[in-house]
Amino acid sequence: MSKKTILVVDDEKELVELVSSYLIKENYYVLRAYDGIDIFPLLQRGKVDLIVLDVMMPTMDGYTACEKIREKWTVPIIMLTAKGGEMDRVQGLKIGADDYVVKPFSPKELVARIEAQLRRVELTTKKPSVIRFDGLAIDLEGRTVMVDEQKVTLTRKEYDLLLYLVEHEKMVFSREQIHDYVWGMDYEKGTFRTVDTHIKTLRIKLGKFGECLKTVWGVGYKFEGDNE
At 64 the pLDDT is 93
At 75 the pLDDT is 92
At 59 the pLDDT is 92
Q: What angle do CA 221, 225, 228 make, to 5 degrees?
A: 150
At position 194, the amino acid (one-letter code) is T
Phi then psi dihedrals of residue 134, to 5 deg: 55, -115
- Within a domain: 99: yes
- Within a domain: 170: yes
Among 121, 173, 96, 109, CA closest to 4: 121
CATH of the domain at 145: 1.10.10.10
Decide if 93 contacts 100 (C-beta within 8 A). Answer: yes
At 158 the pLDDT is 94
At 39 the pLDDT is 94
- Are 176 and 157 members of one domain? yes
At 228 the pLDDT is 47
Phi then psi dihedrals of residue 100, to 5 deg: -145, 125
Range of 157's domain? 130-223
Mean pLDDT by 10 residues, the chain (228 residues): 86 93 92 94 88 92 92 90 67 82 87 89 71 89 90 92 89 85 62 86 94 92 77
Total of domains in the chain: 2
CATH of the domain at 47: 3.40.50.2300
Express each pLDDT in 145-168 by its tens digit.
999 999 999 999 999 999 989 988
- Within a domain: 177: yes
Judging by beta carbons within 10 Å of its beta carbon (0-12, 13-18, 19+), is residue 70 exposed, middle or buried? Answer: middle
Whether omega before 76 lies within 30 degrees of 0, making that bond cis, reads no
At 125 the pLDDT is 62
Sign of the torsion formed by the C-alpha atoms of 138, 144, 150 and 152: positive
Decide if 178 contacts 193 (C-beta within 8 A). Answer: no
pTM over 0.95: no
Domain end among 124, 147, 176: 124
- Are 110 and 158 members of one domain? no
